[in-house]
């Protein structure tokens, strides 16, 4: 089996970045950290500045994009995104950057990785998730999705590995310190996916498509915890299917988990 790996550098409202790596291609999904931090994480994965082949941008919000332009200029790797996202990002990025358009439903190839974009419901210009295919593996990635859609279900259907948002526990959200306006935004159909909505989506995919390796991503600092997300999602899945799932947590603010095709993820402590 050819080498296919993924590394979570960060996942949450303070920053998002995931590296997908094959033997000859390195693709970053989102770049919501400083270019210095991203460069350090990439170096520790054996990726030099000349080795990055593309930066996939899900949407323009700063926790997904703040390092995209600087990293593109430093590495020469293009920012790959929809026209809406590229336009919205360019409005606040003062310097030029290399860009490559990817329309929803279309596909392009970055090295030996085929990339397809699909729409997700979020309050951004043109937000998407991505399906990456290489060496018989399908990686499905989406966060910042307020509700489950047929497009999200279809993107998961043939996945061998998935990175899926489990942003909040609804009870914690409603009882928490957020303003009423912020609570309404998070819980809206264009906000963020709850633990239970994430679990129901995964249970449906497991029952229909067999076992799966999953990272829960974009957990809220105030309205969730790694332990709560893991417990809630696994218990809800167990109520609906006996199909096994290998489930780990992509932590908010530091590298936390890696995955290699053909093996389980490696999870650091959740303390």
Contact yes or no for 115/107 (Cβ under 8 A): yes
Give the single-character DSSP code of 262: T
- Report residues of the chain scoring pLDDT below 50: 265-271
Each residue's pLDDT tens digit, 52-74: 999 999 999 999 999 999 999 99
pLDDT at site 262:
77
What is the per-residue burial (b if ≥16 Cβ within 10 Å, else e) of 112-150?
ebebbbbbbbbebbbbbbbbbbbeebbbbbbbbbbbbbe
Give all strands (DSSP E) within 103-149, no chain letters. Answer: 107-110, 113-119, 128-134, 137-142
Domain boundaries, given as residue ranges, for the chain: 4-256
What is the CATH code for 4-256? 3.60.15.10
Compute the Cα dihedral for 221, 147, 55, 212 and give only its sign: positive
Q: 266: how many CB neighbours lie within 10 A of its CB?
A: 12
The whole-model pTM stands at 0.94
């Amino acid at each position: 089996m050819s080498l296919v790996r993924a590394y979570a550098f960060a996942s949450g409202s303070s920053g998002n970045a995931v590296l997908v790596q094959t033997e000859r291609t390195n693709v970053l999904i989102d770049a919501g950290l400083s270019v210095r931090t991203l460069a350090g994480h990439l170096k520790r994965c054996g990726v030099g500045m000349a080795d990055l082949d593309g930066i996939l941008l899900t949407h323009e919000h700063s926790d997904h994009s703040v390092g995209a332009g600087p990293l593109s200029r430093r590495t020469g790797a293009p920012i790959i995104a929809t026209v809406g996202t590229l336009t919205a990002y360019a409005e606040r990025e003062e310097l030029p950057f290399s860009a490559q358009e990817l329309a929803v439903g279309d596909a392009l190839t970055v090295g030996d990785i085929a990339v397809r974009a699909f729409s997700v419901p979020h309050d951004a210009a043109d937000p998407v998730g991505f399906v990456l295919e290489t060496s018989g593996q399908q990686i499905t990635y989406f966060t910042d999705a307020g509700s489950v859609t047929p497009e999200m279900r279809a993107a998961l259907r043939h996945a061998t590995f998935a990175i899926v948002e489990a942003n909040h526990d609804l009870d914690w959200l409603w009882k928490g310190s957020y303003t009423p306006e912020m609570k309404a935004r998070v819980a809206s159909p264009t906000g963020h996916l709850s633990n239970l909505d994430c679990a129901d989506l995964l249970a449906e995919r497991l029952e229909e498509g067999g076992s799966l390796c999953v990272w829960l991503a974009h957990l809220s600092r105030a309205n969730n915890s790694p332990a709560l997300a893991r417990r809630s999602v696994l218990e809800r899945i167990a109520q609906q299917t006996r199909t096994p799932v290998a489930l780990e947590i992509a932590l908010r603010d530091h590298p936390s988990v890696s995955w290699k095709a053909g093996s389980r993820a490696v999870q650091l402590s959740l303390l």
